[in-house]
Copies of this chain bind each other. A is one copy, B any other.
């Protein structure tokens, strides 16, 4: 090309911007709110209580350290990136090191910092320690939550078989399930939630990058609109059926409800899991085009709630107690109600999704259901068995992805790491 001469190389290692990208001196410190004393001082709020973040503080950091992992009782953020991983390494020590590296990276990212300590000095030639697309963005209430799938415990080389909790069962096949293996299962999962999707995607991407060659992404899901609230005072969000979802959800501030239904206690066992939980993820495709042609009355009767207000049918206000016996026996609210399920409750944290089209002129849209619970055998499994058999809503739904994970307890400080209690209570096979 005639108008282009040989380039003059420009100095690289002297550039402050390059230093700041690698050493984080610039970009990191610009996010000073999350940094204290030059270290990675995430503002831990001691004790066992649920982490609470003022809803007005969008952009703030959520504490990463605690007895429980953040991202469960934390007020639900606006966006989700969820990924399931297959573990490729067969070396327990490599897996443990990865969990340590991931923990340190999650600590930094949730504080609004980029990954990497910048001490290697390889300024110009090393790949950057962070992919950079979240540079300059606030922490955005990012939480990063890990889970371990049943298949991880079956990998003899890791020596975890005896530590598998009795409650970590594979989900049964439910009537109507049409599961895609490529959207189901996984040895590990990471749930990244943030108010800015770029921050959530950045977190998953950087963990995948750190895990390159050791783990591989099995499936991932972006969620664009939260469908459940864990903050009862806030406006309840609507799902893709246009109805408010999560009106009766367990609140993140409901310490008794969390203790009864979400957190595994030392008595529940096993010991390594105290403070943990179980996560069920289901990709639920909605036949929205069919739903949209149902009459409003039919929609409301199937749901058991009015559409605009979200009140139980026959009541006035969203939070009024439903009169179950006056609802259709196959209505969703009636079948899912704790009174119809021996008191079973879950903390739901689902998101809506729209993943392009299905090749038949329809949107591939629906609900990426996420629920946390103390024991899936008393919660998701019986409730879903009932819904799958009887819920009138099932005509408009299809479950196409499924996974269950045990969620280890929180990371308590800089010397702790995801899964430490599990790995330290077991040894190489």
Listed in ascending order, the chain A residues whose CB lies under 8 Å from chain B are: 1, 3-8, 10, 12, 15, 17-18, 20-22, 26-27, 79, 81, 86, 123-128, 130-136, 182, 196-198, 201, 204-205, 208-209, 212, 216-222, 224-225, 235, 238-243, 288-289, 292-297, 299-300, 306-309, 311, 313-314, 324-329, 331, 334, 339-340, 352, 354-357, 359, 361-363, 365, 390
Q: Is the CB of B296 within 8 A of A127?
A: yes
A410 and B233 CA atoms in complex are apart in Å by 42
Give the contacting residue for A224; candidates B6, B86, B197, B309; CB below 8 A: B197
Q: Is the CB of B218 within 8 A of A357?
A: yes
Chain B nearest Cβ from A417, distance in angstroms = 23
Give the contacting residue for A220; candidates B27, B134, B356; CB below 8 A: B356
Nearest residue, chain B, Cβ from A386 = B1
Give the contacting residue for A296; candidates B126, B325, B339; CB below 8 A: B126
Give the contacting residue for A132; candidates B130, B243, B326; CB below 8 A: B243
Give the contacting residue for A307; candidates B132, B325, B326, B365; CB below 8 A: B132
Q: Is the CB of A126 within 8 A of B295?
A: yes
Assuming the contacts A182-B359, A308-B27, asked whether A79 and B224 have C-beta atoms less than 8 A apart, the reply is yes
A222 and B364 CA atoms in complex are apart in Å by 11
Q: How many copies does the complex hold?
A: 2
Q: Is the CB of B20 within 8 A of A127?
A: no
Nearest residue, chain B, Cβ from A389 = B1
Nearest residue, chain B, Cβ from A361 = B216
Which residues of chain B have C-beta atoms less than 8 A from A7's C-beta?
Answer: 325-329, 331
Assuming the contacts A242-B132, A242-B133, asked whether A125 and B297 have C-beta atoms less than 8 A apart, the reply is yes
A26 and B133 CA atoms in complex are apart in Å by 42
Which residues of chain B have C-beta atoms less than 8 A from A241's C-beta?
Answer: 132-133
Q: Is the CB of B205 within 8 A of A363?
A: yes
Q: Is the CB of B201 within 8 A of A224?
A: yes
Q: Is the CB of A354 within 8 A of B127?
A: no
Chain B nearest Cβ from A335, distance in angstroms = 9
Q: Is the CB of A295 within 8 A of B363?
A: no
A3 and B327 CA atoms in complex are apart in Å by 12
A308 and B415 CA atoms in complex are apart in Å by 31
16 residue pairs of the A-B complex, CB under 8 angstroms, read A3-B340, A10-B313, A10-B314, A17-B307, A17-B309, A127-B295, A133-B238, A135-B242, A136-B238, A196-B225, A197-B225, A198-B224, A201-B365, A208-B363, A219-B357, A355-B355
A241 and B134 CA atoms in complex are apart in Å by 10
Q: Is the CB of A308 within 8 A of B8?
A: no
Other CB < 8 Å A-B pairs besides A7-B325, A7-B327, 19 of them? A4-B324, A4-B329, A5-B325, A10-B313, A15-B306, A21-B296, A27-B308, A124-B295, A126-B296, A128-B292, A130-B242, A132-B238, A135-B242, A201-B365, A208-B363, A212-B289, A217-B357, A217-B361, A222-B354
Chain B nearest Cβ from A201, distance in angstroms = 5
Which residues of chain B have C-beta atoms less than 8 A from A292's C-beta?
Answer: 127-128, 131, 205, 209
A309 and B16 CA atoms in complex are apart in Å by 9
Which residues of chain B have C-beta atoms less than 8 A from A133's C-beta?
Answer: 225, 238-242, 352
Which residues of chain B have C-beta atoms less than 8 A from A5's C-beta?
Answer: 325
A189 and B107 CA atoms in complex are apart in Å by 43
Assuming the contacts A4-B329, A235-B136, asked whether A311 and B219 have C-beta atoms less than 8 A apart, the reply is no
A240 and B314 CA atoms in complex are apart in Å by 50
Nearest residue, chain B, Cβ from A313 = B10
Assuming the contacts A220-B354, A242-B131, asked whether A225 and B209 have C-beta atoms less than 8 A apart, the reply is no
Give the contacting residue for A131; candidates B3, B18, B288, B334; CB below 8 A: B288
